[in-house]
Amino acid sequence: MHSDRRDPVFDRPVFILSPPRSGSTLLFELLTQAPDVYTIGGESHQMIEQVRGLSPRDRGFDSNVLEASDASPERVQELRSHFKAALRDRDGRPPQTMPVRMLEKTPKNALRVSFLNEVFPEGRFVFLYRDARETIGSMIDAWQSGRFRTYPGLPGWQQLPWSLVLVPGWRELASGPLHRIVAAQWQATMECLLDAIEAIAPDRWCAMDYAALLAQPQKQMQELSAALNLPWDRQLGETLPFSRYTLTRPAPDKWRKHAALIEPMLPGLMSTMERARAVLTAGLAQRQALTQNLGFSALAS
Dump pLDDT digits (tens) for 142-185: 999 999 999 999 999 999 999 999 999 999 999 899 999 999 99
Half-sphere exposure of 164 (CA within 13 A, CB side): 32
Confidence check: pLDDT of 281 > 50: yes
Nearest to 167 by CA among 15, 19, 273: 19
Confidence check: pLDDT of 298 > 50: no
How would residue 297 be classed by pLDDT, with cut points 50, 70 and 90?
very low
Q: How far is CA 122 from each of CA 6, 7, 101, 205, rounded to the nearest angstrom?
A: 8, 7, 10, 11
Q: What predicted TM-score, i.e. pTM, was given to this entire model?
A: 0.91
227's CB contacts (< 8 A; 6+ apart) are 206, 286, 287, 288, 290, 291, 294
Which pLDDT score is estimated for 90? Answer: 86
Ordered by start, the domain boundaries in the chain are: 14-294
Nearest to 37 by CA among 46, 25, 28: 28
Please give the backbone phi and psi of residue 127, each rounded to the nearest 5 degrees, phi first. -85, 115
What confidence tens digit (pLDDT) does each residue in 190-224 have? Answer: 999 999 999 999 999 999 999 999 999 999 999 99
What confidence tens digit (pLDDT) does each residue in 73-125 have? Answer: 999 999 999 999 999 998 899 999 999 999 999 999 999 999 999 999 999 99
The answer to whether 123 and 15 have CB atoms below 8 angstroms apart is yes
Q: Does domain 14-294 have CATH number 3.30.420?
A: no
Helix (H) or strand (E) holding 163: strand 162-163
What confidence tens digit (pLDDT) does each residue in 2-61 have? Answer: 545 789 999 999 999 999 999 999 999 999 988 889 999 888 888 999 999 999 999 999
Q: In DSSP terms, which residues pair with 151 in a beta bridge?
A: 162
Which pLDDT score is estimated for 289? Answer: 93
185's CB contacts (< 8 A; 6+ apart) are 19, 139, 164, 165, 167, 170, 173
Order of strands, edge to edge, in the sheet holding 124-129?
A: 37-38, 101-105, 14-17, 124-129, 205-209
Quickly count helices (H) and strands (E) in the chain.
Answer: 10, 7
User: CA 64 to CA 44: how far, in whole Å?
Assistant: 13
What confidence tens digit (pLDDT) does each residue in 223-249 have? Answer: 999 999 998 888 887 766 655 555 566
